[in-house]
Structure 1
């Protein structure tokens, strides 16, 4: 019998969440969430069997208290849990910090800030010698863009199509899909979008008013697209030639995710500014950083406006101690190497699955443990999310490319656990294939494919199916009782 991928964490007798969640309790939780937080999110999650309360969070995932099923977290909140869920060493770091300090003031001197700054700049690509702290990814991108705009005195930004950089002000402005921006425009002016991996398009857009080019070395929300060597090196040469800041958004790719501490290392290229966050906080206390190279323009700007970016919680004493523990765990467990090795094994196995299912899977791609499976139609992403959840895997399709299922396992995953995840994926594909004899012919009917690809229609359909499933389960229970 196949063992669970993770085991529930032990609980003390007085733990309030120790009992299974009864159906009526689950309904009450859902109602309260809908009333006080977000009703639309419940419908969206329920459609994919993801309306789950996370309990017993440990290592690779968590337990669904309603079913008792151990869920493997293959999303990790887009890379927040690189060192695992509830990592004991990181937990000890925050517990020790709480006995001696609080968050601290962002305006004052701090030994914890200094230690982390020295450690990060020593580990970063050569030349990134200074940093600012940020509360999270969006704020880190905001800070990076502000630094480039202020130091250059220019107003233009080049970003990439389908890019995702966060939901805050300037970061939102450089998101490369209209649906993120349209309800909040006008946003920052002067932003232009080039196709990813298209150096010629960037060259055509760049000019004397261009302050910065911002890219993700691996586009996450766009569907796990890895930048080519020629593209990254060409961007570096172009930015040097025209005096443009090159910004890497490594919020998702940083802290070992791609098999190196930062994805920039794979290219032998150093950006002028690098924004990182997510797993920097170990999934326990948020923290982010903007590393940058010092030059004359930056020095002049910071001399005249040293407080151009302030953060309420970025670089807090607690956050910095947590981030130091995260870096120690990455080193102690050699997680960069593990991400490379397990990622290669995962990609090979998924390529085998692709070869077995050419009419379903278009492409498998990724680097390290940042992997995507692209299906031939958008509606297949939500279908797979549903099938994987039933098999005990929490995975998410890409927000900017619903046909792509993203897999971003904790970097602590073992070879045996990768093999078990692969088997669940195989089973989920078999489940999806049982529905395709109806869906695929329907997709060929004019006007039907856009309906199948509609997130709204998918949500309604899968919620209806969940209602039928729930009714069937209740009838089964009544017969047994």
Structure 2
């Protein structure tokens, strides 16, 4: 296996055009972001010390220009940077594409589309021999569901509790948490949800009216829950028996994240439709794809309506040049193997930390470099996010399970760099422990734990603490003067 990757875990050299920021400049940027984009997002990020800017993006992370501190990117925008930040080979492919073509027309033929599509389906599991393009993950899920509904002529879809499939129309409809759907209902009707990894519950919901069952092989937003082999294999048998389309959402798990190019390969099961995006674009140019089997029902549907799904930016000529380079880079660096090896190293180190902190960490779980730490209480997720950021690690807690911290490092990470991240996690837990003598006794008071776990209250509380922190820094700087 060809090893490495980044030359060292130290910050990359200063890049031209990316100067450091003073406190006043940072406040101005935050103010303008609040005014022109999203004030609520600033409050949310600031609460966890995540109101940071990215500069000198390279390999495993970026430099925060206000402090000059290098930040390990352990979130990678939910798996967009599998081949590393600003990968030079992929960047070169983008530059070459820009010098020879533009995005192209989605209605016309293209050598770039054909080359990438041929390469991807050759690497895909089972008989996923065809594909449609999409602009991103949500659109890919929309396309997958439309294909299943159109080809079967059936009205119902089954998803799973706490599933996350995106924020677009049909994708939003199959999200398994009310939080994402409630402001936009009514959405697509006839969507049923069942517990994840519960085959019997799926069987009770399935019928000859069911067009599709959609699952994530690893639930990301729900807190890194890995599908069991018997569950996935049972779904395949169930779908075959009832003529249901089995859809895998591999937007986060695809392109090597779990130690295989696609997570489906761990189970020896091929879905009827597989949606992927995020790291397909190498973190440099967005793209997405929906791979599918060509059955008689699909062929008949596509003959009747070949343009059932069009994407004006997905599958662009530029995007396909970049995505082909991503596939080549995954092979060249043996990143699937590295994800397995470094993921095993990381999880073992976290299990040792768990043994040292049984009153804080409930469980370590994951596959490849898709790893979750579940804490005892929900409020510990935001606390750890804050402590990790102060230590130079950018990580995020799960949207559907705030007590779970997600770690999705670039697949180019080395053994030594995993050790550095583990050291920061240990220090972050020590930092959090200084607050727990107040928080844990308070959590035993009736009603207080509910308040501590409330995201809005967490945001207000941590912003208040940040304000105190800023006042303290201002006073300290004044004394130094």
Over 6 Å off, 4+ runs: none
The 1:341/1:185 distance shift into structure 2, 3 A limit, reads same
- Structure 1 gap ranges (5+): none
Contact 2:133 2:314 in 1 (8 A): yes
Q: How many pairs align? A: 475
Cα distance in structure 1, aligned partners of 2:191 and 2:13 = 47
Offset, 1:4? 7.8
Cα distance in structure 1, aligned partners of 2:208 and 2:97 = 48
Matched with 1:272 is 272
Cα distance in structure 2, aligned partners of 1:87 and 1:4 = 15
> Is 2:305 the counterpart of 1:305?
yes
- Structure 2 gap ranges (5+): 1-6
Matched with 1:380 is 380
Cα distance in structure 2, aligned partners of 1:465 and 1:305 = 57
Matched with 2:4 is none
> Is 2:9 the counterpart of 1:5?
yes
Matched with 1:154 is 154
Cα distance in structure 2, aligned partners of 1:148 and 1:51 = 41
RMSD of aligned residue pairs (Cα, Å): 0.9
Offset, 1:10? 3.8
Q: For 1:278-357, list aligned pairs within 5 A.
A: 278-357=278-357
Normalised by the length of structure 2, the TM-score is 0.98
Q: For 1:17-416, list aligned pairs within 5 A.
A: 17-18=18-19, 20-416=20-416
Cα distance in structure 2, aligned partners of 1:239 and 1:444 = 46
Cα distance in structure 1, aligned partners of 2:265 and 2:238 = 19
Cα distance in structure 1, aligned partners of 2:79 and 2:90 = 16
Contact 1:80 1:278 in 2 (8 A): yes
Cα distance in structure 2, aligned partners of 1:53 and 1:63 = 8
Give the secondary structure class of the aligned counterpart of 1:402: coil
Give the secondary structure class of the aligned counterpart of 1:183: coil
Matched with 2:3 is none
Give the secondary structure class of the aligned counterpart of 2:196: coil
Matched with 2:419 is 419
Offset, 1:480? 1.6
Contact 2:129 2:294 in 1 (8 A): yes
Cα distance in structure 1, aligned partners of 2:132 and 2:14 = 39
Contact 2:126 2:269 in 1 (8 A): no
Contact 1:6 1:72 in 2 (8 A): no
Contact 1:6 1:59 in 2 (8 A): no
Give the secondary structure class of the aligned counterpart of 1:247: strand
Give the secondary structure class of the aligned counterpart of 2:389: helix
Cα distance in structure 2, aligned partners of 1:333 and 1:471 = 47
